[in-house]
Amino acid sequence: MESLDWIIIAIYFGIILGIAWWVIRQKQESPTQYFLAGRHVGWFVIGAAIFASNIGSEHLVGLAGTGAKTGVAMGHYELHAWCILLLGWVFVPFYMRSKVFTMPEFLERRYSPSARWFLSLISLVAYVLTKVSVTVYAGAIVFQTLLGTEFWTGALITVVLTGIYTILGGLRAVVYTEALQAIVLLVGSITVTIVGLIKIGGWNNLVAVAGKEHLNLFLPLNHPDFPWLGMLLAPPIVGIWYWCTDQCIVQRVLAAKNETQARRGTILASYFKLFPFFIFFIPGVTAYALAKSGQLELPVADQAFPAMVKMLLPVGIRGLVVGGLLAALMSSLAAVFNSCSTLFTMDIYKKLRPQTTEKKLVLVGRIATGVVVVCGILWIPLMKFISSELYHYLQSVQAYFAPPIFSVFLLGIFWKRINSRGALTALIGGFVIGMLRLVAEIFKDKLSGWLHTFADVNFLYFCVYLTLLCIGAMIVVSMFTRPPIYEKIQGLTYATTVAEDKKTSRASWNKRDVILSLIVLAIIATVMILFSPLVVAK
């Protein structure tokens, strides 16, 4: 890092802190202002914030690391722009009409208070084991590789830098800084991709050196980690859970001025989501090819992206890209911080102490953020027992959390007969089985017999099996118990939505929104064809 690099980084942080300070100075004493930015955010900020919330340093580190080690097979998870469209077109009308703060609150209205309690606890555990621990770990890797800091020092810097403006500024500080960070992130990552391809000698040389297998989205059925059938079935389950029901993402939509702004924000985010496959996986494959040809030192796969930044980029450009890395780190971690505080404050603390003043609720939210962060840091040493590859670890653990929540939300909206007992059966049963699998995987080398088999089932197939089990349990229990009172769930399912609400929702979109959404679907289909064995093998 040269002086010019540091100057550029300093300017970037000055702008971020300036935005955060501007927001912090505004009064945010009510939960609506602190947790949902006053429900007054427009479509561009929503779209950029959704993308920036999703793409963190764990993606830059993890996706590039996966690309370097196994190729683009995990790219199925990054072709989920269609899931964001599903959020805008299918789920947004129900969420906006319900005027909820959180996803557990929506489940309370659809099912029961018990469903709200349990989803809140599941979500907080999931954030500790995935979002917080993974993002802090990836941030520490970035600091360690680029700046030469000790790992845990980097982790501490990561938390402090992001925590200050998130805790003080609330969601408004998060979404407005995320809008800027999304742009910096894209510019920096595209720069690395282009420079890497130039260094390796172009696309044809990349294919020749890396090998066609590294550019194949559909690996053989007997592949130990990413068989093509599992990659077709499991990622949509995780994708719908993550993009359509996860507090961290949906909270940006809940802050929208109206349904039109919310939907258009998701359409913009779906276009942003088309970039990661090319600007994260391809640099990873490029790093593998450069290392293979002796042009790059790559001791560990997860260092692929930071290593390319450090060794290939010229002075000044390097500072901009490091700014992009730090932008990704801060935006995703800030999103998690704010969502955790919202979940704990609105779904747990307020339920226990309903008379708490609004000002104290905001204070509790800030304290909750700190507690969740500490728990996430304590989990980091155990991550290696699941997978030594960051992105593989992330998707494995998410595959154990997603099935029950996916089932409860999807069936809850499309089928009014599903009741609270069915939902609780799926939530509790699915969560317990998923956690048993997580623990079994940590101790897999010490297990034998059916326990070892249980721990060793491919995580993709396990996700599918658990989803089918949850759906089956929901249907059976619901059909053999009393149906819900349909008047109480009016507007929360398709079958119980009144004509006036349907008319209002229809008026919130036009032909341009439909065309823009169809273009996204066409691009995804094209990418899957171009990186299929039919084309890659030629």
Q: Mind listing the pLDDT tens digit for each residue in 100-123?
A: 878 888 999 999 999 988 888 888
Q: Whole-angstrom Cα distance, residue 198 to residue 205?
A: 10
In a 10 Å sphere around its CB, with 0-12 CB exposed, 13-18 middle and 19+ buried, how is residue 352 labelled? exposed
Q: Residue 191 pLDDT > 90, yes or no?
A: no
Find the mean pLDDT for residues 50-58. Answer: 74
Q: Where do we find the tokens 């679907």? A: 521
* For the chain, domain boundaries: 3-30+40-380
Q: Whole-angstrom Cα distance, residue 306 to residue 294?
A: 17
For residue 163, the model assigns a pLDDT of: 65
What are the start-end ranges of the H helices in 37-146? 43-54, 57-70, 81-86, 92-98, 103-110, 113-126, 133-142
Q: If you average pLDDT over every residue of the chain, what do you get? A: 84
H/E element holding 442? helix 420-442
List the one residue out of 161, 136, 115, 172 whose CA is nearest residue 61: 136
- Gap between the terminal Cα atoms of the chain: 42
Predicted confidence band at 385 (pLDDT cuts at 50, 70, 90)?
A: confident
For residue 173, the model assigns a pLDDT of: 58
Contact 184, 324 (CB under 8 A): yes
For the ranges 30-39, 302-311, 351-360, 411-420, the lowest mean pLDDT is seen at 30-39
List the one residue out of 166, 178, 172, 127 whose CA is nearest residue 32: 172
Contact 184, 51 (CB under 8 A): no
**Count of all residues that appear for the chain in the document:** 538
Report which listed range, 154-158, 245-249, 396-400, is most confident.
396-400
Q: Is the dihedral of CA 343, 349, 351, 354 positive or negative?
A: negative
For the ranges 165-174, 228-237, 348-357, the lowest mean pLDDT is seen at 165-174
For residue 181, the model assigns a pLDDT of: 67
Q: Residue 35 pLDDT > 50, yes or no?
A: no
Report which listed range, 268-282, 332-346, 463-477, is most confident.
463-477
Predicted confidence band at 394 (pLDDT cuts at 50, 70, 90)?
A: confident
Q: Residue 316 pLDDT > 50, yes or no?
A: yes
Contact 242, 336 (CB under 8 A): no
Answer yes or no: CATH 1.20.1730.10 is held by domain 3-30+40-380. yes
pLDDT single digits (tens) 125-148? 888 888 778 877 777 777 777 767
For the ranges 82-91, 167-176, 197-206, 426-435, the lowest mean pLDDT is seen at 167-176
φ and ψ at residue 178, rounded to 5 degrees: -65, -35
For residue 40, the model assigns a pLDDT of: 60
Q: Which residues does 467 contact at the CB level (< 8 Å), separation at least 6?
A: 237, 402, 403, 406, 407
Strand partners, 62: none
pLDDT single digits (tens) 460-495? 999 999 999 999 999 999 999 999 999 889 989 999
Predicted confidence band at 201 (pLDDT cuts at 50, 70, 90)?
A: very high
Q: Residue 162 pLDDT > 70, yes or no?
A: no
Q: Which residues does 331 contact at the CB level (< 8 Å), separation at least 6?
A: 52, 53, 55, 56, 174, 177, 178, 181, 182, 185
- List the structure tokens of 405: 């929540």
